[in-house]
Structure 1
Amino acid sequence: MKPLDTASLDCLAALADDGSFERAAQRLSITQSAVSQRLRTLEAQVGQLLVVRSRPLRLTEPGKVLLRFARQMQAMREDVGRELGVGPSPGERLTIAVNADSLATWVMPALDSLVHEGLSLELIVDDQDFTHDWLRQGAVLGCVSTVSEALRGCRAVPLGVMRYLAVASPGFIEEHWNGRPDGLDRASFSRVPFLVFNRKDDMQHQWVSRAFGVRGPRLRERFVPSSEAYVRAALMGWGVGVAPEIQVRGLIDSGALVPLRSEVTLAVKLFWHQWKLAPDGAQASPRVAMLDRIGGALVDGAKSAFATGPARRPARRQLSGRLRS
């Protein structure tokens, strides 16, 4: 195959980052027609369609392959620029993918100091089982994922274990089980609503399967696609939530939420993945060095967050009156 045009590869990366021809043109400081021409040139060179012209646009599988190559070319140019004393492009940002529960709990505190130093960052949010797909496609430079095995050209570092437990508000427990937290049992779980983050989320099914030995349980589901709103919905008595222990620990201690079958928890192992954008032993470019610092900050932040002890069970009392990531 003939050498690929670097301007066209930059165009493909801009389209992947910005999702439209208009915004890609603004990023590259060229016209939309020039963006279209560069893309057509690249597609003609490889003989395959690279972008599906939808709203938002999306890359085809060949487009994803070339996107990974484009990212590597950009990193190599940055290395050359560093050696020549040429700084990074203004407004350049690093994009990583994280799961919503981590973003709502420990990721932002972990990255806070880097952001205040001036880090230009874009966070992509997806389920922890799917963030790895963003990395595989070359759409992000790093991700927090449940996948343990590193992709070729990447490295993976363990972050720790995020534990999930089932909780409900005192009012919900009063309404459904006459104030008895142990009222949720094999006979009753299918009659009460469970909070679900989105259609990718199966944490509730996993918890019920483990708690009651039921395969493929059918649940009454109420979807709340926000980690913070998920916890708020549990507090308001919308249903049983299966939430990160570190997110609801304080609410359990205060009695605002009550753990259900607290002996049953789900342990989710998380890993940080990032592309190796510089050869081993080589001096890293500023971009690569910052990506390494992001990884280090996330490893330290996760270690600190997950090291905190388990939630304390509130004293047993008669519940009256009336969470997830």
Structure 2
Amino acid sequence: MDLDLGQLRALAAVVDAGTLEAGARHLHITTSAVSQRLRALEQATGRVLLVRSRPVRPTASGERVLQLARQVSLLVADTTAALGGAADDEPGRGGADDGRWVRPPVLPIAVNADSLATWVLPALAHLAGPEAEVCLDLRREDQSYTARLLRDGSVVGAITSDAEVVPGCSVQPLGALRYLAVATPEVVDRWFADGVTGEALRRAPVVVFDRDDELQDVWLAARASAAGAGERLDPPRHHVPASIDFSEAVKLGWGWALLPQAHASGDLASGRLVQLDEAPVDVPLYWQQWKLRSPALDAVASALVTAARAALVPIS
């Protein structure tokens, strides 16, 4: 099977952008040219690779070819950097520097929201700063679901709570992100004056990140069992899908929630927040990436692993 680099780039651009038109703008070619490249790629593979919905999405076969497209793109960028020049067929290369400037490779990475809001950005700052070695395309997703983005070819690496190795990937333990169940004194006085009972947990409003956020429910199930409540507890819920705003909602008294220790520690010390339960909840995190020898990808992995040693607690 003979696959063309331009066709692979067209597939990745369209999936990332969501439409053929947006993918064409990214590649600085016409929509018709993108369509022709995609048809040629489907003819070469003998498979339908895209569902032409809005946004477009890859088929099962398309996910495999998309993974190849990203791997090839990363290898081309690494080789270009090693040669110290710009690829002839890449838009935006060359010009005033006569080809000596090298566009950094783009690395799509899946990161859970709380890691993104606490330790990941400082960890990667030296790679993405003024002397940028890479361009980072961070995809925010719950840690329970980031691994699926590796499987479908959307990203080249992911911070995930899944220790099971994704086929074609390697895995390294990072540590555990520690959470504390907290609320304002006013919420505690209103709902938990008689303690963290099953009845209190059934009635007290809880703040959750989004519909994929299961952390509060895991804690609820454990507390309900300890409190002797035999049924699943389903308290009133506020959804606040942004980490800093989520923390602020808890601090404003919207309800109780589990916050990363880094977000809660200062307010616990000042008395603005109090803990509902002394026992922390530790969510283990792992770094998974494709088994691909890439200096750019390895640099990201090294930065994350090093930072995680200081930011996270050991996995028990």
Question: Is TM-score (shorter-chain normalized) higher than 0.5?
Answer: yes
Structure 1 position 67 matched with structure 2 position 66: yes
The count of aligned residue pairs is: 294
Equivalent position to 1:172, from 187, 193, 207: 187
How far has the Cα of 1:165 moved from its partner?
2.0
Equivalent position to 1:294, from 283, 287, 300: 300
Q: Which has the higher contact order (CA 8 A, sep 6+)?
A: 1
Of 3-12 and 215-224, more deviation after overlay is shown by: 215-224
Q: Tell me the equivalent position of 1:107.
A: 120
Alpha-carbon distance between aligned partners in 2 of 1:83 and 1:195, rounded to the nearest angstrom: 49
Change (3 A) 1:76 1:306: closer
Of 49-58 and 101-110, more deviation after overlay is shown by: 49-58
SS in 2 for 1:222: strand
Identity of aligned pairs, percent?
Answer: 40
Alpha-carbon distance between aligned partners in 1 of 2:186 and 2:250, rounded to the nearest angstrom: 10
Alpha-carbon distance between aligned partners in 1 of 2:273 and 2:61, rounded to the nearest angstrom: 49
Change (3 A) 1:5 1:114: closer
Q: CA contact under 8 A between 2:176 and 2:313: conserved in structure 1?
A: no
Alpha-carbon distance between aligned partners in 1 of 2:117 and 2:81, rounded to the nearest angstrom: 35
Q: CA contact under 8 A between 2:205 and 2:255: conserved in structure 1?
A: yes
SS in 1 for 2:166: coil
Equivalent position to 2:254, from 210, 235, 238: 238
Gaps of 5+ in 2: 91-102
SS in 2 for 1:233: helix
Q: Tell me the equivalent position of 2:204.
A: 192
Q: Tell me the equivalent position of 2:23.
A: 24
Q: CA contact under 8 A between 2:7 and 2:41: conserved in structure 1?
A: yes
Over the residues paired in the alignment, what is the CA RMSD in angstroms? 2.0
Equivalent position to 2:311, from 305, 310, 317: 305
SS in 1 for 2:265: helix
* Structure-1-length-normalised TM-score: 0.84
Alpha-carbon distance between aligned partners in 2 of 1:233 and 1:165, rounded to the nearest angstrom: 15
Gaps of 5+ in 1: 279-287, 309-325
SS in 1 for 2:206: strand
| Offset from partner CA, 1:167-189 (integer Å, 9 cap, x none) | 10112122334xx4x62212221
Q: CA contact under 8 A between 1:205 and 1:216: conserved in structure 2?
A: no
Q: CA contact under 8 A between 2:178 and 2:313: conserved in structure 1?
A: no
How do 1:70-219 residues align onto structure 2 when only pairs under 5 Å count? 70-78=69-77, 80-81=79-80, 84-87=83-86, 90=103, 92-116=105-129, 117-118=131-132, 119-177=134-192, 180=193, 183-213=195-225, 216-219=232-235
